[in-house]
Chain A
Amino acid sequence: SQTIHQWPATLVQPVGSPLSLECTVEGTSNPNLYWYRQAAGRGLQLLFYSVGIGQISSEVPQNLSASRPQDRQFILSSKKLLLSDSGFYLCAWSVGRDAQYFGPGTRLTVT
């Protein structure tokens, strides 16, 4: 069966510090991978998606970036965090355009 992992589970970072969130998927090959952000009291916002290694599509221009160094690894990064980057970050995977399956999320608080 397939599983998706995210870490860390929670993170508190000062404004201006760097960020690295990691997502890995097990039990499937060549998945589509997605990064979402869910701000408090708001809906999900797609940040990035990837259909293959090195292929990243950005949906929202911002100070975040994503990379996919391996088939089942997706990384969300920032060089300098802003207060507005606080939120709940969710990684998801799918096979093609079938159902998306989500990880447990990372709660990021920027202070």
Chain B
Amino acid sequence: KQEVTQIPAALSVPEGENLVLNCSFTDSAIYNLQWFRQDPGKGLTSLLLIQSSQREQTSGRLNASLDKSSGRSTLYIAASQPGDSATYLCAVNRPSNYQLIWGAGTKLIIKP
């Protein structure tokens, strides 16, 4: 059974720091992995999608990596800003169906 874990559950850092959010999964047989952010009371915004054959994806100050063999993905945020404050979620898409398996999220606070 695929399980997705995100550690830490919450993170508070001063503005300007580079930071890493972690996502781990128990079954390496994945189709792809997606990172999202969710602002309070809002829908989810898709940040990056990594296919199972890829090692990393980049978008602006965000870089997501994938290591299937170790069951890990990281989201690297460079030069953090207060506007990056949100809950970050990772989700794994299994090969067998359309259901995403979700982590519980990391609540990120960037202090000005």
Contact = CB atoms under 8 A, between A and B. Distances in A.
B112 interface: no
Interface of B: 31-32, 34, 36, 41-46, 49, 89, 91, 93, 98-100, 102-105
Interface string A28-40: 0000101000000
A102 B98 contact: no
5 contacts: A34-B98, A49-B99, A57-B98, A92-B44, A100-B46
Interface SS majority for chain B: strand
Contacts of A105: 42-43
Interface string A74-109: 000000000000001010100001111111110100
Interface of A: 6, 32, 34, 43-44, 46, 49, 51, 57, 59, 88, 90, 92, 97-105, 107
Nearest to B4: A43
Contacts of A102: 36, 43-46
A104 B100 contact: no
B102 A43 contact: yes
Q: Which 8 pairs between the two chains have the least Cβ-Cβ distance?
A: A102-B44, A99-B49, A102-B43, A105-B43, A104-B43, A43-B102, A44-B102, A99-B46
Contacts of A88: 41
Contact of A103 (B34, B41, B43): B43
